[in-house]
């Protein structure tokens, strides 16, 4: 069992941090610059988004499955990612007005290509040493592996951050991230925090949109809005053991991938593509709503972040799915209502985790991941 790290003197970890997040959707990297000061609320100084080239995106998708020459392909993808991360950092420097010498550290998640905590590992592609070289800023990376080493799922890691930024006394709130995978954080009125993955979100929606629209995603949910939910297909999609598992649990493209989707769709080959998109959207909404009913039936509101917050069809279906459960009348809105734009939340979380690492404070919650205890997360690559 890990020895509890000694926190440094309060205020010694203060400063400006960059947070970088490239999620399961693999469309690019979101970055934020955040000022942390002891005893004060953190302040976002700027944000940036840098897209991935089609070639890099294809390389990352290819690494989701076993293949030839994986070690070299992963290393080259890590180098390419570091270059895009560096571009994002330079944009953040320009926006915030802070030179590299004034930035305390970069917290970078890396790109998940395998997530198998049941086998004792999780893999995020990155080259943090190269990023430190290109930016002349300390880089903190590899946040998930310490939690996995302590017997945890390594995910989700954001609930501790959600509790700090979005929690409220005497009111249960749910923060729902609709990224490639959906997950929720339950911030209970008692102060207890739970969080776990619910199932697929943009990972399958983007895959189907790419197949039939030749576009990376369903812009504004318009494709889904043209279709109708097919109940037999929805039931077939819901017939997946993961949805019935109790937390702690996490998932990724290892399970919810094109092969999984194709196997489920095989008996429904005659369905119109728009109807399939509508049903995949309903799958995300239904699985999230069911988990909220099971674990946060007293929630006063659901606050959504991630790419799905920009999908009106998905947001509408989530509200409808909740209204059909025992938590009807719970409003669905974005985290903008709590002062943080939805596209900033994940990157903000990794800036916060970087600050916690510098402060030698834990970044995980054992109640969320199932780890043996709280741990300081991240490995530091000095400038």
**pLDDT given at position 23:** 80
Question: For residues 185-222, b (16+ Cβ closer than 10 Å) or e, as one string?
Answer: bbbbeeeebbbbbbbbbbbbbbbbbeeeeeebbbeebe
**CA-to-CA distance for 167 and 338, rounded, in angstroms?**
10
pLDDT per residue as tens digits for the range 45-104? 999 999 999 999 999 989 988 899 999 999 999 999 999 999 999 999 999 899 999 999
Q: Both 83 and 205 in a single domain?
A: no
Is 197 found in the same domain as 145?
Answer: no
Regarding whether 109 and 202 lie in a shared domain, the answer is no
Co-location of 150 and 172 in the same domain:
no
pLDDT at 64: 85
Q: Is 180:170 a contact under the CB 8 Å cutoff?
A: no
Q: For 324-338, write each residue's pLDDT tens digit.
A: 998 888 999 999 999
The structure tokens listed for 8 are 């440094």
pTM above 0.75, yes or no: yes
Q: Is the pLDDT of residue 199 over 70?
A: yes
Q: Please give the average per-residue pLDDT across 281-297, as a whole number.
A: 98
Reference 113, options 261, 307, 259, 254; nearest CA is: 254
pLDDT, residue 45, reads: 96
Q: Is the model's pLDDT at 10 over the cut of 80?
A: no
Number of domains observed in the structure of the chain: 2
Query: Quick check: helix, strand or coil at residue 121?
Result: strand
Q: What is the CATH number of the domain that holds 28?
A: 3.30.420.40
Q: Which residues of 112-148 are buried (b: 16+ CB within 10 A; e: fewer)?
A: bbbbebeeeebbbbbbbebbbebbebbbbbbbbbbbb
Identify whether 312 is part of a domain.
yes
E strand spans, 270-323: 301-305
Q: Are 363 and 317 contained in the same domain?
A: no
Structural domain includes residue 1: no
CA distance linking residue 364 with residue 147, whole number of Å? 7
What backbone phi and psi angles, to 5 degrees, belong to 49? -135, 130
CA torsion sign, 221 to 226 to 231 to 234?
negative
Token duo for residue 123: 């893999």
Q: How far apart are CA 75 and CA 95, in angstroms?
A: 30
CA distance 179 to 182: 6
Q: Which domain holds residue 42?
A: 15-156+343-381
Q: What is the CA radius of gyration of the chain?
A: 20
Q: Judge if 56 and 194 occupy the same domain.
A: no
């Amino acid at each position: 069992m890990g020895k509890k790290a000694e926190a440094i003197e309060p205020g010694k970890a203060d400063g400006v941090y960059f947070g970088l997040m490239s999620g399961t959707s693999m469309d690019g990297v979101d970055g934020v610059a955040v000022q942390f000061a002891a005893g004060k609320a953190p302040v976002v100084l700027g944000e940036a988004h840098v897209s991935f080239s089609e070639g890099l995106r294809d390389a990352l998708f290819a690494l989701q499955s076993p293949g030839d020459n994986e070690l070299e392909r992963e290393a080259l993808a890590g180098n390419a990612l570091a270059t895009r991360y560096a571009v994002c950092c330079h944009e953040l420097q320009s926006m915030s007005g802070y030179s590299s010498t004034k930035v305390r550290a970069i917290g970078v998640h890396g790109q998940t290509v395998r997530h198998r905590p049941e086998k004792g590992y999780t893999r995020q592609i990155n080259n943090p040493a190269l990023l430190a070289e290109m930016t002349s800023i300390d880089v903190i990376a590899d946040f998930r592996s310490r939690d996995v080493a302590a017997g945890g799922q390594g995910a989700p890691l954001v609930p501790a951050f959600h509790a700090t930024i979005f929690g409220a006394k005497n009111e249960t709130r749910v923060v729902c991230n609709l990224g490639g995978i959906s997950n929720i954080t339950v911030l209970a009125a008692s102060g207890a925090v739970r969080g776990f993955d619910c199932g697929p979100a943009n990972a399958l929606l983007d895959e189907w949109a790419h197949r039939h629209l030749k576009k990376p995603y369903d812009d504004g949910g318009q494709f889904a809005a043209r279709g109708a939910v097919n109940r037999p297909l929805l039931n077939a999609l819901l017939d997946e053991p993961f949805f019935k598992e109790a937390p702690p649990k996490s998932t990724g493209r290892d399970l919810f991938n094109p092969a999984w989707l194709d196997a489920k769709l095989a008996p429904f080959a005659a369905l119109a593509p728009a109807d399939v998109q509508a049903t995949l959207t309903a799958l995300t909404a239904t699985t999230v709503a069911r988990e909220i009913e099971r674990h946060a039936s007293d929630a006063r509101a659901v606050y959504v972040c991630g790419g799905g917050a920009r999908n009106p069809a998905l947001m509408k279906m989530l509200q409808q799915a909740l209204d059909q459960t025992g938590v009807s009348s719970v409003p669905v809105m974005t985290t903008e209502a709590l002062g943080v734009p939805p596209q900033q939340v994940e990157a903000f979380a990794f800036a916060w985790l970087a600050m916690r690492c510098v402060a030698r404070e834990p970044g995980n919650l054992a109640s969320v991941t199932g780890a043996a205890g709280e741990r300081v997360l991240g490995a530091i690559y000095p400038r």
